[in-house]
Amino acid sequence: MDDQVLSQTYAAALPELSIPWQADAPPRPELLWLNEELAGELGLDPEQLRTPDGIALLTGQVDEQGCPRPSLAHAPEHPFTTAQVYAGHQFGNPNPQLGDGRAVLLGDLRGPAGSRHDLHLKGAGATPFARAGDGKAPLGPMLREAVVGESLHALGVPTTRALAVLGTGEQIAPRQGVTPEPGAILVRAAASHLRVGTFEYAAWHLGTEVLERLVEYAIERHHPAARAAANPSLSLLEAVVQEQATLLAQWMLVGFVHGVMNTDNMTISGEGIDYGPCAFLDRHRHGAVFSSIDRGGRYAYGNQPGIALWNLSRFAETLVRLIDEDPDVAVEQATAVLERFEPTYLDAYARGMAAKLGIPTADGGGRLDAVRSMGAEVLALLEEQQVDHTGFFRALSDGDPSALFADPTPFRAWHERLLELRGAGPAADEARAGMMRANPVHIPRNVHLDAALRAAHLGDLDPVLTLLDAVREPFERRAEHAHLEGPGDGGEDFLTFCGT
């Protein structure tokens, strides 16, 4: 940690889009969980993070240079940490100003591999963007984000990750019910916190010059190849469209439901972010909704690819003035890029489905068309007969999952065609072996995650730590985690909340 230097490159490049803001000092901070693997990737020493200086850093108690200040009695006159402002479309409706209402950007750092990451604190107290909130975060939702992020990462899905979860030593106003909840801070690592909503704020409120600097910063940070393109803004749009199409395909394949795909929750980096009302499918359902606030099902499981394209269209709108001086020409060029989302998504989805089904795809497009058809057919069977999504694909990897179906006859007919499509030979053998690396045993099952978070609320972290251990090795079946494999009882009626 001594050699690690925090920067505020975003605030330096775009002071119009953040403000200096000091994180609240928690009364009795306690490190509850530290992601040692991630700490190493970031170039941080886990043992130093456990010291008073480390706790000060992880709670945002830093001086004007970003150095830990555990013994200082007063906040710095010029805070190093910042709160970001952004806008967004929430459930399809534009909100002109959102922002880090209960969070601060601790800073960004360059890890040993050369990549730059943000460190961001959630639950660090109210900022000017808090919209009447108290800026606090309860322990349960912060642990949820840690578990979900680690699960997605282990599944190979691009995601922000939790570096640490700390208790603040205070009881905060409840988010549901009347009983106070233990307060917590999540320390999140991200490629950056640039969102579609960041560009919306700049486009709606600031001039072209600021928007140009934002594009330059995003290109430099995430998509440097766009810098040399004939039209860098259009190239940035193309890169983000491709990244998001691939991300959405991965979400759909593992049965992940984000829950609140507002434009302020879509990153320019292509990472998933903000895991509040989110869940994984138990029973396969196209219309599955686990968010208490998504009463109309806008962000249901099966709607996610379409919503991603809708969000990307809003991103494209912010870039029109930079793509071409002639708005008609700019819209035509942006539309052509947006039209690539669907084929990119379908290709990524088909290749992922082929891996889950054990089908070799070396011969290209013709085989992928068959994969799409076979995938759609079996998912319809899963929904019709209320079969578990993750359990089915893992059972298919292990052998014959026909016992999962109330009426196995249609599945067996489908399975015969699958065996024919797989074929024989070394490529087929390799594809079948690869199923074990494509179909997990462990995901954060709704019932098990909820039970673990309730135990943490009462002071017992062991169930959360056990669940983390399971989902971080998702493809391994271990006897000590056998109780976490299945969906349990009541998961279909499960609801999640924002935690704000």
Report the 10 Å Cβ neighbour count for 419. Answer: 11
Q: Which residues pair with 195 in a beta bridge?
A: 267
Residue entry with tokens 């766009």:
226
Residue of 55, 68, 61, 50 lying closest to 5 (CA atoms): 68
What residues contact residue 154 under an 8 Å CB cut-off, 6+ apart? 471, 472, 473, 474
What Å distances lie between residue 99 and 73, 148, 222, 326, 489, CA to CA?
Answer: 28, 23, 21, 32, 38
Exactly one of 24, 100, 264, 294 is catalytic; which is it? 264
Q: Structure tokens of 193?
A: 């916190």
264 an active-site residue? yes
Phi-psi region of 386 (alpha: psi -120 to 50; beta: other; left: phi over 0): left
CA atoms within 13 A on the CB side of 258: 27
* Contact predicate 466/448, CB 8 Å: no
What Å distances lie between residue 370 and 203, 235, 341, 374, 376, CA to CA?
Answer: 43, 32, 21, 6, 10
Residue entry with tokens 């909130």:
133
Tell me which DSSP letter residue 411 carries. H
Q: Structure tokens of 298?
A: 């806008």
> What amino acid positions are annotated as catalytic residues?
264
